[in-house]
Every structure is written in C-alpha cells, then in structure tokens.
Amino acid sequence: MQEIPLRQPAISELYLMPVSLEMAEAIFPLMSAKICEGLAIKPIESINDVRHFIKGTDSLQKGRFFIVHHSLGIIGGISFGLINDRERLITALLSYWVGDEYQGNGYATTALSSLMYTLKNQGVTQYLAQVFPYNIASQKVLKKLGFECLDPNMYQDGFSGLVDFTLILI
C-alpha cells in the first residue's frame, strides 16, 4: 500500500502511512489504557502486544494505516474492512484512534474524511463505525462527517454496549 495524502488543506501536515512492524516502538507510548478500551482490545503492555496489534491478525480491518503528523510523527491509527452484502452495497467498517495528547485538534476528523474520500472513489457505498456510548468525542467526529446513530440494539455484533453509526452514500 502507498501513503495517502490528506486532502484538507487546513491540516495538510497529516498523511496516512501503511502500518509496519518497524513502527512498534513509536506507537507503544500512544497505546494508553483509554485508547485500548476505546478500541475494545486488551491493554497493550509490551512491544510484543504492539506488534500483535499492528499485524491485525484478529481484526476484520485489513486496510491499516498510521496517522502521521509531519512534525510530531505518528499520532494515531485508522483502519477499515470491507463487507459486501446481498444488496450490492459495499460497506467499509471504520476504526480510528488518536493518542491522548493529540486529541481535540481535528486530526481524527481529517484522517477519517480523507480515508472515506479514497474509499468512496473505490466504490464504497456505506460506512459503519461503532463507538461506546461514553465516547462522546468520537461520536462528534462521526456526526460532523454526516454519520447517523442507529438503534444500539439493531445489530447483534457480540460487542455489547457499542453504538452503531452509519453513513450511506446511495
């Protein structure tokens, strides 16, 4: 995969870089207990845990990128998995995180917007993201990008307590 430059000039110091195991030490300090909880993963306690996370072996999301700030370095991550359904919709299941010290600067919104733009041009017709009810900041990011909250009981996804947000393009 190649780097994806972000298309919003207001925050042009960001780009998406394909994940690599060589970056494990750089993201280890960013993987706080709060970030892990928000991603619904077990706490990251070692470099080996980070490497396992980077590999994404247990994840449906195979398109995986670091969010990189030109002067700050890696500040977070973003990923997607594609799901084709019977109605010929191509749904991208999105996941993202930004390190605690970098939150509140619009980085998640910019990175997600760029990834969505790229996926739309590749035929994606629907986006789905799941967040915990207490993660108000993430809900604001999704709403800002046009997502709507679905009934939390609509999906039987095995992740009790998650709230589904969707954006349909067609």
14 burial type by CB count under 10 A (0-12 exposed, 13-18 middle, 19+ buried): buried
Please tell me the predicted confidence (pLDDT) of residue 25. Answer: 94
Please tell me the predicted confidence (pLDDT) of residue 19. Answer: 93
Q: Which domains does the chain have, with CATH numbers?
A: 4-168 (3.40.630.30)
Does position 69 have pLDDT exceeding 90, yes or no? Answer: yes
Does position 13 have pLDDT exceeding 90, yes or no? Answer: no
Give DSSP secondary structure letters for 93-153: EEEEEE-GGGTTSSHHHHHHHHHHHHHHTTT--EEEEEE-TT-HHHHHHHHHTT-EEPPTT
pTM, two decimals, is 0.83
Does position 9 have pLDDT exceeding 50, yes or no? Answer: no
Residues 118-145 pLDDT 10s: 999 888 999 999 998 888 899 999 999 9
Please tell me the predicted confidence (pLDDT) of residue 39. Answer: 87
